[in-house]
Amino acid sequence: MIKLDLTNILKEEIGQSGLDFDEIKMRAENAVSILKERKNEDLDFLNLPYQDLKKIKEIGQKARDYEYFILLGIGGSALGPKVILESLSPFHNFQKKPKVFIFDNVDPYTLRNLIELIDLKKTLINVISKSGSTSETLASFLIFWRMIRDKKMEVREHFVFTTDPEKGNLRIISDEYDIPTLEIPKKVGGRYSVLSPVGLFLAEAIGINSGDLLEGAREITEKATANNLDENPMAYLASSLYLMDVSKDKKIIVFLPYSDRLRSLSEWFCQLWAESLGKEGKGTTPYPSLGTTDQHSQLQLWMEGPEDKVILFVSIESHNVQEEIPEEFYHIEGLRFLGGHTLEGLMHTEQIATEMALSLNKKANLKIVMPKIDAYTLGQIFQFLQVTTAMAGFLYSINPFNQPGVELGKRLTYGALGKRGFESEGEEVKNYLKKKRIII
């Protein structure tokens, strides 16, 4: 089970920079209470660990017969699957098929090179958009659709749609052309969807048992509403990060996992936290980092820069690889001390040393501890961070499941491209472009 170490955020450890444990506990109790009250509202991601996997496994098994697997999506539709790929099969494309490419932008250079690299006859394309109206995803989809039609290939053999169960553009196309589809539950938003077919289909396609992911998430879900608060580290983390903001003015969360395999988890968490909580002038800014790498690029700032950060470590107890450092060059003290240790031991030691250095300088930090990285624990950390984010939203008294600030950019894009019904937004864009620019 994932654990949370609160030690270095408490007053007895870091003085006035820290928090009182009783206050953290009180807010944690409040967060759990609100979660229980809203259990049937906007919280369908808590039900995902109990879903039926039969269809996902059937289509996932067929996906393994292809040479290439392209995922078209953006935001939560791409970041979650990317975490699964890079955490559980980080060198997949060198070892197994299908070779996986996650295309989450509209950079024409990247798309053109991808098209030249693959053989479309041996390719399955997973198009992910719950609304079926995501401009970037649809643009890429249309290019691949036309290419496959031009080659006289059967489209239903080369596409799988992951979308709304009842409506949207992809649903219309799937009905007309008999495209296989996987359904995203109606009340599960994109950034909370990794444990839906959004992430689970890719897992099955690359040979990861999606049931293991859900089993880990299920344990977290059950603890999220447990009466025993001491079994609910998510509530304590939500409370701590909230209080660090409102009472200590810590406006930045540095998310710092100590594993290359969790680099993309930092990116996924940043979207989850930022889009869920950045509303009504509230919320804090997450930024992705990586240990030990960023000890050499960011630690100076954390130690002696502005007092506006809280560091959230993610430590791995066992990487399951004992790569020993050779005992060589005994006559050179700068090398001799490394001999006989392991890379895992060095990484763990550097994490502890950074944690201690911050604490000795009264810099607030917390630590999530994962026993290892496998499908079960990855399912746990996904649900752990989703529950934490939802609880933090409740403490801020905002809705952590909408994203009103994103909608204006979408409407202006639609208007600029001439989508019917967005004519006024199109005029706004034209007027904006007519303004005099100060270009130096």
Dist. CA 270–CA 276, nearest whole Å: 10
Please identify which of the residues 54, 152, 296, 435 carries the catalytic annotation: 296
Q: Which 3-state string (H, E, C) describes 375-409?
A: HHHHHHHHHHHHHHHHHHHHHHCCCCCCCHHHHHH
Please identify which of the residues 275, 355, 363, 367 carries the catalytic annotation: 275
> Does residue 382 contact residue 194 with C-beta atoms inside 8 Å?
yes
Dist. CA 58–CA 71, nearest whole Å: 18
Question: Left, alpha or beta for 67 (phi > 0: left; psi -120 to 50: alpha)?
Answer: alpha
275 among known catalytic residues: yes
Report phi then psi at 92, rounded to 5: -55, -50
Q: Is the peptide bond before 98 cis (omega within 30 degrees of 0)?
A: yes
Give the residue among 372, 57, 104, 75 at the shortest CA–CA distance from 208. 57
> Does residue 371 contact residue 217 with C-beta atoms inside 8 Å?
no
Please identify which of the residues 187, 282, 410, 419 carries the catalytic annotation: 410
Residues 6+ apart with CB under 8 A from 437: none
Catalytic residues: 275, 296, 410
